Structures are given as structure tokens and as C-alpha cells.
Amino acid sequence: MGYKVVVAGATGNVGREMLNILAEREFPADEVVALASRRSLGTEVSYGDKTLKCKDIEGFDFSGYDIALFAIGSDATKQYAPIAAKAGCVVIDNSSLYRYDPEIPLVVPEVNPEAVDGYTKKNIIANPNCSTAQMVVALKPLHDRAKIKRVVVSTYQSVSGSGKEGIDELWDQTKGLYVPGQEKEPKKFTKQIAFNVIPHIDVFMEDGSTKEEWKMVAETKKIVDPSIKVTATCVRVPVFVGHSESLNIEFEEFLDEDEARDILREAPGILVVDKREDGGYVTPVECVGDYATFISRIRQDSTIENGLNLWCVSDNLRKGAALNAVQIAETLGKRCLKKG
């Protein structure tokens, strides 16, 4: 007997990817239902070789369903997640709404799979921010070996992280720079994104950091270790899909770059591509559609006693969102629900 699964937000970038990954990974589902807002009622979405018609989330009865993957944003999640949870359906939420609630697990299955056991408190599990997810997959195996003191991370985040509007704006602005009369002013972003980089993701906070930067700090502490110090600079770049990160890591004890490379090669969810030659590293273009988090440019940092630098790339719609949510569902099934 398999699971009865709901995908809420099935017409969005992440929702469609959730359906793709459920099918690709052959998640043991007896039934999959696609939900969306009323304006998308009847819209068709793909699930493997099947086509699903979207149902209206408003008034949907979650009773009898085992797992609901939510990709509908914080406001709608605040309204519908408690309804699903109360009906006995475990919500795996991709928004930021529940990530910092101490009673709700924040899970990256390669890092803290045991945390899913805490779902029973509220019947909800949170999916981390896309930039955090790929970073902690890289940090955890190194932390287990040499204990991380501090991480300095600079991100190069693709426009798909801001949804379809971000993708459209990059496309339209790029065309507009070459086609007279089709110029597009910034709307989704604060400045031109075509052929530009913007050091601003999410809202500014009182200390001068942005909320995206704060998320990376808070989530790393919750997922990996509260003692790790993290400082982040998050930047939007004119890439359609795939987030990249430059990581500078300081450890409590010395970790040789060769040993670090071997540790990462053996770690779950990671592929190391690290040749010191032209093209011997991974860029966002190569990571699109892949499940892995790719690590390149591993090298000692000679400016501190116990430091390493590395480059981390991942498909943000997959590991940063949809894939991680499905992996949480798989982990929940194996550890707790035990169906399929």
C-alpha cells in the first residue's frame, strides 16, 4: 500500500518540479493530487507519463491523504497548512513560514534525517532556503571531521529563486537591450538584472543584512550546529537556474585539502569535480536538472590557521526546493510512516 500525496502549488516552478521528481524517483504513491488556486482550476500538469488536472485548494479535504508538499508561499501556507495538518496529512512546506519555529523540524535529509521524527508536534516539516540547503550538504561531512568554527559565504543566486516573474524579467530585459522598443524597466528586481549583479535578495534588516543573508545564518545553526558562526552576502546574478556559492570555512583543527576532497567524494548528495585545469569545475549551466550538489575549487586558505575555500553549485529548483522536499517525504516514509 502506497501513499496518498498532495502537491499544493502545482502550477508554479517548484510545484511542477515536485511532480517531476516524485515520478522520476518512483515515490511509492497510490494517488497524487495537484492543487492550485481557483484561477488555475483545471490547468493540466505533468506527473510522469500522466496528466493531472489541478483542483482548487480552497475547501479541499485533506482527510485520508498522507503527505502534502506545499509550494504556495507563506501567506497561503499560513491559511492551508494547519487545515491539512489537522486532517492528519503531514505538510512538507517549502516557504519560510515555519523554518524558525522550534517545534517544527527543518530538514536536509543528508544532514539531519533524524529531525523528521519531530514532525508529530505539529504535523509539519519545513524545507530550508535554497541557498542554505546546498551549503549545509557540503558543510556537514567536513564539520563531522574537523568541527567548523566560522563560514564566510558569498552567493551567486539565479533568477529562478524569485519565481517565474524573475525568469521572465531576465529574459525580457536581455531581449530589450538588443531590440529597440522592447526595453524593460526593473519590476521584480530593484535594478536591471540583465548583464548585471544585484547585492540584494529579500528585504533589508536593521543591521544592514538582508533577510536572505539572515536565513542562511539562522538555518545553518538549526540544521547543523548552533555554535557555527556564519556571515553571508547574497547576490542575484543573470543566470536562469542554478545557485553558486563561494565558501570560506574555518575549522577548529587542521583539515588538509586532499582529505577534505576525499570526505566530500564519499558524502551523500555530493559530486566532486575538482581538476586544476581549464573547465575542471562545475558552473550553473552543468548542474541544471541534476540531483547532486557539486563541489569544485577545494583549496587551503593560507591566511588563517585552519581554513579551506571551495565552490558549491546546485540546481536551486531541485536540491534547493523540490528535490529536498521529496527527499524529506522519502525519509519520513522510511523512518515514521512506513508505507509503500
Specify whether the CB–CB gap between 131 and 234 falls below 8 A.
yes
Tell me, yes or no, if 143 is annotated catalytic. no
Q: Tell me: is residue 40 an annotated ligand-binding position.
A: yes
> Considering 54, 143, 234, 243, which one is annotated as catalytic?
243
Q: Tell me: is residue 79 an annotated ligand-binding position.
A: no
> Considering 130, 234, 287, 312, which one is annotated as catalytic?
130
Rg (CA), the chain: 20
Tell me, yes or no, if 243 is annotated catalytic. yes
The answer for residues whose C-beta is within 8 angstroms of residue 270's C-beta and 6 or more apart is: 137, 138, 141, 264, 292, 293, 294, 295
Provide the angle, in degrees to the nearest 10, between the axes of the packed helices 211-223 and 130-146: 40
Residue type, 91: V
Q: Tell me: is residue 11 an annotated ligand-binding position.
A: yes
Q: Tell me: is residue 176 an annotated ligand-binding position.
A: no
Q: Tell me: is residue 39 an annotated ligand-binding position.
A: yes
Distance from C-alpha of 93 to C-alpha of 99, rounded to nearest angstrom: 9
Specify whether the CB–CB gap between 38 and 56 falls below 8 A.
yes
Q: Tell me: is residue 316 an annotated ligand-binding position.
A: yes
- The count of other CB atoms within 10 Å of the CB of residue 11 is 19
Distance from C-alpha of 53 to C-alpha of 33, rounded to nearest angstrom: 8
Distance from C-alpha of 22 to C-alpha of 69, rounded to nearest angstrom: 11
Cα angle: 103, vertex 108, 109; to 5 degrees? 105
Per-residue DSSP letters for 226-270? Answer: TT-EEEEEEEE-S-SS-EEEEEEEEESS---HHHHHHHHHHSTTE
Q: Tell me: is residue 120 an annotated ligand-binding position.
A: no
Specify whether the CB–CB gap between 109 and 129 falls below 8 A.
no
Q: Tell me: is residue 145 an annotated ligand-binding position.
A: no
Q: Tell me: is residue 309 an annotated ligand-binding position.
A: no
Give exposure, 275-305, as e/b (b: 16+ Cβ within 10 Å): eeeeeebbebeebbebbbbbbbbbebbeeee
Specify whether the CB–CB gap between 56 and 36 falls below 8 A.
yes
Q: Tell me: is residue 233 an annotated ligand-binding position.
A: no
Binding-site residue positions for substrate: 157, 236
Q: Residue ranges for the binding site for phosphate?
A: 99
Residues assigned a catalytic role: 130, 243
Would you list which residues are annotated within the binding site?
11-14, 39-40, 99, 157, 160-161, 236, 316
Binding-site annotation, residues for NADP(+): 11-14, 39-40, 160-161, 316
